[in-house]
Structure 1
Amino acid sequence: MKELKKFKMNMKFYRERKGWSQEQLADKINVSRPVITRLETGEQEPALSYLLLLSKTFSVSIDHLIGRDQVTDDLLYEVYGDYGNEHSFSQIIDYLIKQPKMSTGLQQLLYAKPRERKLIEDILITVIEKSTKRLE
């Protein structure tokens, strides 16, 4: 996952985690709301000044904000061990942490009856496969 993709996902995650609207974050860093929208959608690459302001506002390092946080990868490796494809695994975990609805839905899936869970898993996999084929 490229840094810009990680950045926009992280920016939205930390804004929502603080409970702020785009307008509220814009006020805090003294920019217009459309700037926040463009940064979160990836239409605009963040200037260093924005990275510095957002880093301070969210109380995280710039490396963490752009997804170059080795500490997260190291912790995941320590907890889960070497799966051979650890880099992809850490991206999945990072995605789930930052997408609370998806994470909650998957937790609920764990409690579904096996037959229902299998049906839901099949549907999800089919949708993901069809969506990614369209992107290729």
Structure 2
Amino acid sequence: MRELEIFKMNIKFYRERNGWSQEQLAERLTVSRPVITRLESGEQEPDLTYLISLSNEFNVSIDHLLGRDKVTSDLLYEVYGKYDTESNLSQIIDYLVKQPKILVSFDKLLEVKSKNRKHIEDMIVSVIDSSTKLTE
């Protein structure tokens, strides 16, 4: 059920990209907020009515919501194909996409001057290394 996993990720991504809370999206679709929660968590599979409504609200195709459009497939192939030698790159990309706060922070990091960025990158690596040692 790869499509359901991508759908869960996409509904949350597009909701947050539009700056909407679950409640706000629910109001736009005239459903209850728990419906949005269940769709985002995968507890509920979307029926056709929800897919059409979400497609209209987010202004994307249903195929795109499900990760079945050619553009998405081509883009993923290009990214993964170019960097296939990197061991867990696809997992890292998936993780970043699913963690919008971290993704926003990395966007901000790119705006920092390279001299200062190196210091921040070293701190991030140090924190991650330290925390993984604690879990061993």
1:55 alignment counterpart: 55
Q: Which is worse superposed, 40-49 or 89-98? A: 89-98
Residue deviations 1:83-117 (CA, integer Å, cap 9, x gap): 3369x746644653564421232345565464552
Opposite residue 123 of structure 1, the aligned amino acid is: V
Q: 1:82 to 1:34 in 2, by over 3 A?
A: same
Q: 1:113 to 1:78 in 2, by over 3 A?
A: closer
Contact 1:26 1:33 in 2 (8 A): yes
Mapped partners of 2:123, 2:72: distance in 1: 33
Q: Which is worse superposed, 65-74 or 39-48? A: 65-74
1:124 alignment counterpart: 128
3-state SS in 2 of match to 1:72: helix
Structure 2: unaligned runs, 5 residues or longer: none
May I ask how many residue pairs the two structures share in their alignment?
131
Q: 1:10 to 1:127 in 2, by over 3 A?
A: farther
Structure 1: unaligned runs, 5 residues or longer: none
1:26 alignment counterpart: 26
TM-score (norm 2): 0.69
2:39 alignment counterpart: 39
1:104 maps to 2:104: yes
Consecutive aligned runs of 4 or more in structure 1 exceeding 6 Å deviation: 128-131
Opposite residue 5 of structure 2, the aligned amino acid is: K
What do you get for the CA RMSD once the two structures are aligned?
A: 3.4
Q: Which is worse superposed, 52-61 or 77-86? A: 77-86
